[in-house]
């Protein structure tokens, strides 16, 4: 294997390993408080990892798929599930985002953010003839339609970050600055509507700006920073973090990064802040490197879109935990708890990994010649 292939896999496994250790740490607390069985944790996580491996392999297989039928089925199917979750899904915390099948639940929004990229890639190749300017507004129209459904759940943060990810992808593939500027104006309008439409959005912005009337709800923002400060250079040690003991909600989801840093600090292995950030950057850099060297326009579009989406959601999660952005509720890919996110992200990075393999082989052949 080439150095880039090795680094890509290493960074991915590193994130998954850090996530598993975080889940173990938080679950040990839940075992005591909620009298849960340790076997529940083991079975649940083995199943998640197994499904993630299958999704990764499926993503590698999908890279070889040339027809548009698969793309259409994936996109329209995920949008249909997204609509179903909005109309008849399960609610939690004021949002209707989940579909229950037996004893399991999943979020269609995790799938649709990647199926959307593949559908836009099809438009780019078939209708745009690899000229982004031609199909830019149609791509934005479709994206805004999907984002509007996510927005209505309500899942405001996912909607805005997804729209931003698509905008960056389209810009990298040839959209003009004027087109991006006009789309940014649309994104701002959507954000303004969200601000006045949803009380929780106004609360989160107010908390970020330090409004005193939300002192109690702002504790999660404060405690996230406390976690990071407590971590120091090498952290308190695996399982020794205190913030997960009821001080910081969603310790293994929305604030996974903060809890990792409390236990592993800046340099502790494997959950240290530096290593998590480097892993995200490595996956992003190698993915974009592979996209740049891919001769197929459809695959190049998908690899860029998948990579940018992965990076954007990772960046926003880390920025929220550091207090740089308002609370969003977005998970950290491969680290935060959640089967839907793990499977969707594994599929996307499996696709990208296949592109990395192809690019590395071509690079080695050119080097030999």
Query: Residue range 107-127: average pLDDT?
Result: 95
Query: Residue range 150-171: average pLDDT?
Result: 93
pLDDT band at 163 (very low <50, low <70, confident <90, very high): very high
In this prediction, residue 154 carries a pLDDT of 83
In this prediction, residue 93 carries a pLDDT of 59
Contact 263, 237 (CB under 8 A): yes
Round to whole Å and give the CA distance between 156 and 154: 6
> Residue 40 pLDDT > 50, yes or no?
yes
Percent of the chain with pLDDT over 70: 92
In this prediction, residue 85 carries a pLDDT of 87
Round to whole Å and give the CA distance between 262 and 259: 5
In this prediction, residue 319 carries a pLDDT of 95
In this prediction, residue 368 carries a pLDDT of 45
Query: Residue range 283-305: average pLDDT?
Result: 97
Contact 123, 138 (CB under 8 A): yes
> Residue 366 pLDDT > 70, yes or no?
no
For residue 253, report the phi and psi dihedrals to the nearest 5 degrees: -130, -90
The answer to which of 98-107, 119-128, 175-184, 229-238 has the lowest mean pLDDT is: 98-107
The CA-to-CA distance between both ends of the chain, in Å, stands at 18
> Residue 261 pLDDT > 90, yes or no?
yes
In this prediction, residue 2 carries a pLDDT of 87
pLDDT band at 277 (very low <50, low <70, confident <90, very high): very high
Range of the domain at 162: 3-368
Considering its fold, how many domains does the chain have in total?
A: 1
Max Cα separation, the chain?
A: 68
* Residue with token string 């502790």: 268
In this prediction, residue 86 carries a pLDDT of 83
The answer to which of 72-81, 101-110, 181-190, 281-290 has the lowest mean pLDDT is: 101-110
* Residue with token string 């190749």: 125
In this prediction, residue 257 carries a pLDDT of 95
> Residue 217 pLDDT > 70, yes or no?
no
In this prediction, residue 91 carries a pLDDT of 66
> Residue 298 pLDDT > 90, yes or no?
yes
Residues found in the chain: 369
How many angstroms from the chain centroid is the CA of residue 367? 35
Query: Residue range 151-158: average pLDDT?
Result: 89
Round to whole Å and give the CA distance between 40 and 264: 25
What's the pLDDT tens digit per position in 323-350?
899 988 899 999 998 889 999 999 999 9
Contact 19, 335 (CB under 8 A): yes
């Amino acid at each position: 294997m080439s150095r880039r292939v090795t680094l890509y896999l290493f960074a991915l496994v590193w994130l998954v390993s850090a996530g598993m250790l975080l889940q173990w740490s938080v679950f040990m607390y839940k075992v005591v408080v909620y009298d849960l069985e340790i076997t529940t944790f083991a079975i649940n996580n083995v199943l998640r990892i197994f499904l993630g491996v299958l999704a990764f392999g499926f993503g590698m297989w999908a890279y070889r798929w040339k027809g548009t039928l698969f793309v259409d089925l994936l996109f329209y199917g995920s949008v249909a599930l997204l609509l179903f979750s909005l109309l008849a899904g399960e609610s939690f915390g004021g949002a209707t985002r989940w579909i229950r099948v037996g004893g399991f639940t999943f979020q269609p929004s995790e799938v649709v953010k990647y199926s959307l990229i593949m559908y836009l890639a099809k438009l780019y190749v078939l209708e745009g003839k690899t000229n982004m300017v031609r199909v830019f507004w149609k791509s934005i129209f479709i994206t805004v339609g999907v984002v509007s459904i996510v927005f209505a759940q309500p899942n405001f943060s996912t909607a805005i970050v997804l729209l931003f990810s698509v905008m960056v992808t389209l810009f990298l593939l040839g959209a003009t600055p004027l087109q991006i500027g006009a789309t940014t104006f649309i994104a701002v309008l959507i954000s303004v509507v969200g601000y006045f439409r949803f009380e929780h959005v106004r609360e989160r912005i107010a908390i970020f700006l330090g409004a005193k009337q939300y002192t109690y709800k702002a504790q999660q923002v404060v405690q996230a920073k406390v976690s990071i400060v407590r971590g120091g250079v090498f952290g308190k040690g695996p399982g020794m973090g205190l913030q997960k003991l009821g001080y910081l909600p969603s310790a293994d989801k929305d604030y996974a990064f903060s809890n990792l840093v409390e236990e592993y600090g800046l340099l502790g292995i494997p959950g240290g802040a530096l290593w998590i950030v480097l892993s995200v950057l490595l996956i992003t850099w190698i993915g974009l490197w592979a996209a740049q060297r891919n001769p197929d326009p459809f695959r190049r579009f998908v690899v860029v879109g998948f990579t940018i989406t992965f990076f954007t959601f990772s960046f926003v999660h880390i920025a929220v935990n550091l207090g740089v952005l308002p609370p969003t509720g977005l998970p950290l890919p491969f680290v935060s708890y959640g089967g839907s996110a793990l499977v969707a992200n594994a599929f996307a990075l499996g696709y990208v990994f296949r592109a990395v393999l192809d690019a590395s082989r071509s690079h080695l052949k050119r080097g030999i010649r």
